Amino acid sequence: MRNYSGYTAGGASLAKLINCTVVSNSAASYGAGGWNNTYLNSIVYYNHSYRTNTDDSGNYGNWTNCCTPTLPFGVNYFTNPPTFVNLAAGDFHLSSNSPCINAGNNAYVTTTNDLDGKPRIQGGTVDIGCYEYQTPSSVLSYAWAQQYGLPTDGSADYADSDGDGMNNYSEWKAGTNPTNAASVLALQSPQATNTTGLTVTWQSINTRNYYLQSSTNLPVFTSIQSNIVGQAVYTSFTDTAATNGGPYFYRVGVQ
């Protein structure tokens, strides 16, 4: 895009943008990249506001798994530059070290091909932006790996960097810190409550959904709840079917 708006929203307004690359737009006022849009798996960067003389790529709307320089509302976003092959020449394909590689959310993918007609998902997770990098070396989100100083050549994917029993791929999926052994998806001991049943608590984050399984006869587990919305720090769930002496065993996972 290379649009100009005499007011706001040089890129788009009141729209839903999925796997889009919105760059090189300008506006006389705010929101050079966009205004009050829903952004999913999108790059919104290098859009110029003449009023503020800054990269004002879109300060309003809802953002999920996006790359943009400033962001007031959103989850799973980052502000690192997207690292194109050649920004000056208008080549917005992702370079081999772009943080946008594997950094999207597959749930928002609506097509099987990118803007070039090439396969949309490579490496297991969709990229952010309109072009899919075709030969990723790692299965990790590059933005996530770079945040923690991990290489993106694949050598760290299944290493346990902090020795907590979870490899880096599992830490990324769980949203835990791969350099902190205390940051791990782990259950606390179930506790009897004033209500019927047992309450199970685990370390969690608010950008993941969880499922919980139980067993009274190992190794067979049965799912008792899915789509449990994660809370910051800890999430709890009460198993109201745990009404006798048990024994009861539980395990939790990320959806």
pLDDT at 129: 98
pLDDT at 10: 60
What count of Cα atoms within 13 Å lies in the side-chain half-sphere of residue 221? 12
Secondary structure of 33-101 in the HEC alphabet? CEECEEEECCEECCCEECCCCEECCCCCEEEECCECCCCCCEECCECCCCCEEECCCCEEEECCCCCCC
Which residues, in sequence order, are CB contacts of 244 under 8 Å at separation 6+? none
Q: How many CB atoms lie within 10 A of CB 234?
A: 11
Tell me the two tokens of residue 39.
Answer: 């952004």
pLDDT at 196: 82
Q: How many CB atoms lie within 10 A of CB 2?
A: 10
Residue stretches of the chain with pLDDT short of 70: 1-10, 28-30, 32, 51, 53-55, 57-59, 72, 194-195
**Tens of pLDDT along 143-155?**
999 999 999 999 9
pLDDT at 6: 40
Averaged confidence pLDDT in the chain? 90
What count of Cα atoms within 13 Å lies in the side-chain half-sphere of residue 31? 17
pLDDT at 251: 96
Q: Widest CA span of the chain, in angstroms?
A: 71
**Tens of pLDDT along 182-194?**
999 999 999 987 6
**Tens of pLDDT along 24-49?**
887 766 676 777 889 999 999 998 77
